[in-house]
Amino acid sequence: MIVHNFDPVFIDLGVFQIRWYSIAYIVGIILGWIYAIKIIKEMARKHNFTMIKKTVFDDLIIYLIIGIVLGGRLGYVIFYNFEYYSRNLFEILKLWEGGMSFHGGLLGVIIATIIFSKIKRINFFYFTDILCCVAPIGLFLGRIANFINGELFGKISTLPWAVVFPNNGNISRHPSQIYEAILEGIVLFILINFFALKKQLLLRAGYVSGLFLIFYSIARIIGENFREPDKHLGYFFNYFSMGVLLSLATFLAGCFIIFLIKNNEQNN
């Protein structure tokens, strides 16, 4: 049994705090950008893939940051705790305390990328396929930050690596945040990049985006089985957590994208 004793605050300056949660987002965006540029350069060198240039992707970053932050926060507010935040509007601004939704962030990134792709007149999927290759980096760091914060903890467990989160009673639980970091971060990164780069699916716009939605959804649903549902939400239909319901929607969306692409390829 392990006792959780991590401090969610990295640096406390009195009137201002820097939290691990914020660092995870900043580092995730920076590493994701670096890796995305590497992919763009490699694809141009090996496959003469010039649909997206480094300078264009650089311009996309600010759109993505806005989409991630606004979408992630509003998604959490709407999907997970609307009643509370509707009565405490100022609390919505306290991003440093945690409370971000992947599915909300996903919608935010999609909207931001649609706008940007229209401005640049470049196929939306050329951008999202590359983003899907780098997204697991941010997901991994985000889940590690969840663990440090002692939030989104797992169900009761007696396994040797079970963790006691003092703020939630003297009960050992699954470190579900670590499970999800492995599934949504490491495993998803390997799978997506294998298909995108080794199988060269980046050359077929949309496939990587569809596969990402499918693989992420499966990883998230597996992780949700070890995670306590939000107390104020519980289970829907006595079985499905909010995370599972949203992931079922993204799974179907991924299948639909691949179906449309295959159908379009057969008709051309």
pLDDT digits (tens, 9 = 90+) for 101-141: 999 999 999 999 999 999 999 999 999 999 999 999 999 99
pLDDT for res 81: 86
Residue partners of 43: CB distance under 8 A and separation at least 6: 49, 202, 203
* pTM of the complete model: 0.93
Q: SS3 of 10, please?
A: strand
What pLDDT does 161 receive?
Answer: 94
pLDDT in tens, 247-267: 999 999 999 999 999 988 887
Please, which pLDDT band fits residue 100 given cuts at 50, 70 and 90? confident
> pLDDT (tens digit, 9 = 90+) per residue, 178-222?
999 999 999 999 999 999 999 999 988 899 999 999 999 999 999
Per-residue pLDDT reduced to its tens digit, 133-145: 999 999 999 999 9
Select the more confidently predicted residue: 152 or 215.
215
Instruction: Tell me how far apart the alpha carbons of residues 148 and 179 are, in angstroms, rounded to a whole number.
Output: 14
Say whether pLDDT at 75 is over 80: yes
234 secondary structure, DSSP code: -
Q: Given this model, what pLDDT does residue 91 score?
A: 86
Q: What is the mean pLDDT of residues 148-169?
A: 91
Helix residue ranges per DSSP H, 121-235: 124-149, 176-180, 188-193, 207-224
Q: Is the pLDDT of residue 26 over 90?
A: yes
Rounded CA separation 106/69 (Å): 10
Q: Please give the residue that has the higher pLDDT: either 51 or 174.
A: 174
- Quick check: 22 pLDDT over 90? no
SS3 150: coil
Q: Which of 248, 160, 170, 257 is nearest to 210 (CA)?
A: 257
What pLDDT shows up at residue 97? 65
In the three-class reduction of DSSP (H, G, I as helix; E, B as strand; rest coil), residue 161 is classed as coil
Whether residue 96 is predicted with pLDDT greater than 70 in this model: the reply is no
Q: Can you read off the two tokens belonging to residue 199?
A: 């199988």
What local confidence, expressed as pLDDT, does residue 98 receive? 65
Q: How many CB atoms lie within 10 A of CB 190?
A: 11
Indicate the helix (H) or strand (E) that contains 58: helix 54-80
The label of the residue with tokens 């969610």 reads 8
**Cβ 229 vs Cβ 241: under 8 Å:** yes
Pairing verdict, β 163-164 and 172-173: antiparallel
Read off the pLDDT of each residue in 145-152 and give the average, rounded to a whole number: 91
Evaluate if residue 28 carries a pLDDT over 90.
Answer: yes
d(CA 19, CA 148): 10
Across the chain, mean pLDDT equals: 92
User: What is 72-137 written as a DSSP string?
Assistant: HHHHHHHHH-HHHHHH-GGGGG-GGG----HHHHHHHHHHHHHHHHHHHT--HHHHHHHHHHHHHH
Residue 48 has pLDDT above 90, yes or no: no
Contact 25, 138 (CB under 8 A): yes
Please state the rounded mean pLDDT for residues 72-91.
88
